A = this chain, B = another copy of it.
Amino acid sequence: MDPARRRPSVRPATGPVVSRALQIFEAFGPQHTSLTLTDLARRAGLPLSTVHRLAAELVAWGALERDAAGRYNVGLRLWEVAALAPRGQGLRERALPYLEDLSQVTQENVQLAVREGSELVFVERIAGSRAVPVHTRVGGRFALSATGVGLVLLAHAPREVQQEILSTTIERFTPHTITDPQVLFRMLADVRTNGFAVSDRQVTVDALSVAAPIRDRHNAVIAAVSLVVRYGSFSPHALSPLVRSSARAISRALAASD
């Protein structure tokens, strides 16, 4: 009746509902595990009432949880289904015994990673008792171009991914980081022929890592293991047989377990 009260058509919209719901997941991050509704909306780039509505559905199912203060957290139910991810928990569980052996024998840092697009995701990390501190987090991402595991994964990645990375400016972490695409390209070829990769102080000036590929039953590279040691404590040549044989053991275990 009152034309001024008439709501004016309301309808920018943006895309499929599911994608908006997934944007909500993206709002969470290592530094942001607990968010207010307002933060959630801001970080997801969605209107407040939209997030309010969608988040309520996610909470009802258990994909999100609200704590005593009403803040939103990633829910246990989501964690449960994620535990079924073959490249996540699945891989982690099957590889773990071998990673532990590696850790026991060397007392150094052990890492397990897979490629996701043009980055890597750490699937497991065992911190050696008296090892160089490494700042990796399980579930965390990192560039493919610098670490041992990254070089292995990149060396066996599809052409497009290599191209993409070689044609963009390569991030530098230390003076030793290789940033020349030419040099990196040749290094990838070496990784393929040698069956292992060495990252010599490319991430931090005091660490060196040696990594080897893990393959599935069709011989495709699906993951990589590495040992990360203090620079100078071990030579790459001393470590590579160890890492390679562990990688092969894991590959075999994966092929065996259906």
Report which A residues bind B (CB closer than 8 A). 16-19, 21-22, 25-26, 28-30, 33-34, 54, 57-58, 60-63, 65, 68, 73-90, 93, 114, 116, 121, 137-139, 141, 218
Contacts and interface: CB of A to CB of B under 8 A. Distances in A.
B74 A82 contact: yes
B79 A87 contact: yes
A89 B18 contact: no
B138 A57 contact: no
A83 B19 contact: no
Given A18-B57, A19-B61, A84 B74 contact: yes
Residue with the greatest number of chain B CB neighbours at <10 A, chosen from A22, A54, A218: A22
A74 B141 CA distance: 18
Given A17-B17, A79-B139, A86 B57 contact: no
Contacts of A33: 84, 86, 90
A82 B84 contact: no
A30 to B, nearest CB: 7
A21 B21 CA distance: 10
A86 B114 contact: no
A82 B87 CA distance: 14
Contacts of A89: 79, 138-139
Q: How many copies of this chain does the complex contain?
A: 2
Given A74-B86, A80-B139, A83-B139, 6 more contacts: A22-B58, A25-B81, A28-B84, A76-B87, A79-B139, A80-B88
A94 to B, nearest CB: 12
Contacts of A22: 57-58, 61, 63
A78 B76 contact: no
A65 B87 contact: yes
Contact of A76 (B26, B58, B77, B121): B121
| A-B complex: 10 closest residue pairs judged by Cβ atoms | A83-B139, A79-B88, A82-B82, A74-B85, A79-B85, A79-B82, A17-B17, A18-B57, A22-B61, A74-B84
18 contacts: A16-B57, A17-B17, A18-B57, A30-B84, A33-B86, A33-B90, A73-B85, A73-B86, A74-B82, A74-B84, A74-B86, A74-B88, A75-B87, A76-B87, A79-B139, A80-B141, A82-B82, A82-B83
